[in-house]
Structure 1
Amino acid sequence: MPSILVRLRGAWDRLSAHNLRYYALVPLVVAALNGTKIQNLLRSDHDFHAGISFGAPLPVTDAWSFVSTPAVGGGVQFSGPRTRLGIGLFAFGLVLQGVLLAGYLGGLHRGLRGDQPRFGAAVGAYWQRFLGFAVLLLGLFLPPVLFTLAARSLAPLVVLWLVAFFVLGYLLYAAPYLIVLHDAGLGEALSWSVSLATDGGAYLRYAVGYALAVVAISIPATLVVANVPILGIPLGIVGLAPVGLVFDTATLVFVADLTDAEGLGTRLPRGRRPNRAALSTPPDERGST
């Protein structure tokens, strides 16, 4: 399987060949709507901040995936919705996230296959499954956060939350891509992703390479965005949007290779498959088994 750097270069070439670089607008919008990150930077009283960011592949890799933001204030603070309006806006945000994810990954998938991207059609086809994915992630991550907030001794639970975050991110990172590549249901995509993750191999190597690439970019990105926020925030949001698009496209093609998706994966000589590591036979072969 190609290395992460080869995949990133190949992703940019594919985006350019199919005139899909404008899809960087989605990571840009997602980053611009992250008021918590922006407020943390503007309210920070740190004279200087350096840090790194790393994690598993995300369905939308925005600027904040590459920037380590300083903590504001002491202890752990809860910034969730507290009023009816806040709860309503939070619910709207979840729906919007489902819409953006569906149009983004679904449109990229269609465009990279040579079809019309049709963002709206992709939204109609996938948004409910992506909304379910967003709600599921919220449900999985919320209990460790609540335990952390309620505990008197925070350090052990903070560590537990971080471990849970990265383990779940690793186990489930292929799920949203499987939805668009194989038109899989949410439950099938989740179980398929977990199966790929537990098999390790190429799935694990890609996750490690992705994380290291994010670390490398995050060092200069954090220095610029966090220490000159007035200029760094808009520069980071705009400048890192196409970088995030390249990472997401590379992951889409990688998962296509890993699961033998038709019409998108790396081209190999006839009869060869880039990798057979699926929970079950690919959807195009199920009728013959």
Structure 2
Amino acid sequence: MPTFTARLADGWKRTGENMSLILVPILLGVMQTDSIRQILAYDGVHIGVKFGVPASVVTIWQFVSLPGSGVTANTGLPLSAAFAMIIIPGVILLRAGLSAGYFGTIAAELLDRHEGFAMSALTYFVPFLVITALPYVVLVPLALGLFGFGSLGDEGAVLLLIPAFIAAGYLFWATPYLIVLRRTGLVAAARGSYKLAVDGGAYLSYTIGYVAFVFFASVITTAVVVNVPAVGIPFGILAGGFVGLTLNITTMRFVADIDPESPCAGEWPAQHRSDGAAVSKEEAAP
């Protein structure tokens, strides 16, 4: 199988052929105004790192460790009970539609399908709506203090949930990719992601490579975006759109390569073999 760096190079090249799609991670990056506000309100020097998996549209914020991060639902707006009940549904609907169109278009470009952004947004809207809403189902009640963790407080509650988030992130990050590759529903895609995850192998190796990439990239990204916000925020959001699209395209092709039920996204040239591994989908399948 190709190395992680070879896959990134391929994803970078394909991003140049699909530049219009960077508008989605850029727009979602701009929408996260709570993160922008938190950085602008910070007075000091901040160094940090982030970890992450490619479970959604990748934006600049996957690479930025926010100073003094609290418990928020990342709606991009001030969070109060009354206001949240009004604005969050609209945010969820918009993000779901953009994500469905984005992932569907990436898959269509890789597989030579005749599906535009609008068609993909309509076709895959329902499963992506569920995926988009799930974090809010957990985080919004927590941010509003509705879970009743008592003496633990918000920080204690978050610490309890961290292992569950890590496990879920690893087991199910391939779900949105499988939805559009297989043209299947959420449950079937989640089962497929779970199977790939527990089998380990290439899935585990790619996850480790991706997490390491985010970790090291976040050191520089955090330093620039947080400590030089006047330049770092606008530049980071724009650059994050390009890098995010590259990572999503790279991951889409990876999932297509290792999933036996997904269509083939093309064979890799022989020079991209690692330790003599097969490069065709048929040879790579277990």
TM-score tier after normalising by the smaller chain length: 0.7 to 0.9
Secondary structure of residue in 2 paired with 1:53: coil
The alpha carbon displacement at 1:97 in A equals: 1.2
Within 2, Cα distance between the matches of 1:255 and 1:248?
11
8 Å Cα contact 1:197-1:203 kept in structure 2: yes
Within 2, Cα distance between the matches of 1:4 and 1:94?
32
Q: Deviations over 1:133-161 (max 9, x none)?
A: 22234335567765887332345533222
What is the percent sequence identity of the aligned residues?
33
1:218 match: 218
2:273 match: none
Match of 2:285 among 248, 252, 275: 275
Secondary structure of residue in 2 paired with 1:69: coil
RMSD: 2.4
Within 2, Cα distance between the matches of 1:167 and 1:132?
19
Within 2, Cα distance between the matches of 1:207 and 1:142?
28
2:54 match: 57
Within 2, Cα distance between the matches of 1:205 and 1:147?
38
Q: How does 1:144-155 map to 2 (within 5 A)?
A: 150-154=149-153
1:177 match: 177
Alpha carbons of structure 1 residues 252 and 195: separation in structure 2 relative to 1, 3 Å: same
8 Å Cα contact 2:256-2:265 kept in structure 1: yes
Within 2, Cα distance between the matches of 1:182 and 1:42?
42
Kindly provide the amino acid, as one letter, of the partner of residue 241 in structure 1: G
8 Å Cα contact 2:72-2:139 kept in structure 1: no
Q: How does 1:84-103 map to 2 (within 5 A)?
A: 85-103=83-101
Within 2, Cα distance between the matches of 1:222 and 1:64?
9
Alpha carbons of structure 1 residues 117 and 235: separation in structure 2 relative to 1, 3 Å: farther
8 Å Cα contact 1:172-1:193 kept in structure 2: yes
More divergent stretch after superposition (153-162 vs 256-265): 153-162
Q: Deviations over 1:199-229 (max 9, x none)?
A: 2121111111100001111111111100011
The alpha carbon displacement at 1:194 in A equals: 1.3
Kindly provide the amino acid, as one letter, of the partner of residue 263 in structure 2: E
1:199 match: 199
The alpha carbon displacement at 1:176 in A equals: 0.4
8 Å Cα contact 1:144-1:160 kept in structure 2: no
Kindly provide the amino acid, as one letter, of the partner of residue 264 in structure 1: A
Alpha carbons of structure 1 residues 151 and 177: separation in structure 2 relative to 1, 3 Å: same
Within 1, Cα distance between the matches of 2:61 and 2:281?
41
Gaps of 5+ in 1: 277-289
Kindly provide the amino acid, as one letter, of the partner of residue 199 in structure 2: D
The alpha carbon displacement at 1:257 in A equals: 0.7
Alpha carbons of structure 1 residues 269 and 60: separation in structure 2 relative to 1, 3 Å: closer
The alpha carbon displacement at 1:271 in A equals: 7.9
Kindly provide the amino acid, as one letter, of the partner of residue 53 in structure 1: K
2:163 match: 163
Q: Deviations over 1:253-276 (max 9, x none)?
A: 011011132241544777833234
- 1:122 paired to 2:132: no
Alpha carbons of structure 1 residues 205 and 167: separation in structure 2 relative to 1, 3 Å: same
Gaps of 5+ in 2: 269-277
The alpha carbon displacement at 1:88 in A equals: 2.3
- The higher-RCO structure (CA 8 Å, 6+ apart) is 2
More divergent stretch after superposition (192-201 vs 60-69): 192-201
Within 2, Cα distance between the matches of 1:257 and 1:270?
8
2:81 match: 82
1:264 match: 265
Secondary structure of residue in 2 paired with 1:12: helix
Within 1, Cα distance between the matches of 2:222 and 2:51?
12
8 Å Cα contact 1:52-1:215 kept in structure 2: yes
Within 1, Cα distance between the matches of 2:222 and 2:246?
19
Kindly provide the amino acid, as one letter, of the partner of residue 233 in structure 2: I
Kindly provide the amino acid, as one letter, of the partner of residue 236 in structure 2: G
Q: How many residues align?
A: 270
1:284 match: none
Kindly provide the amino acid, as one letter, of the partner of residue 262 in structure 1: P
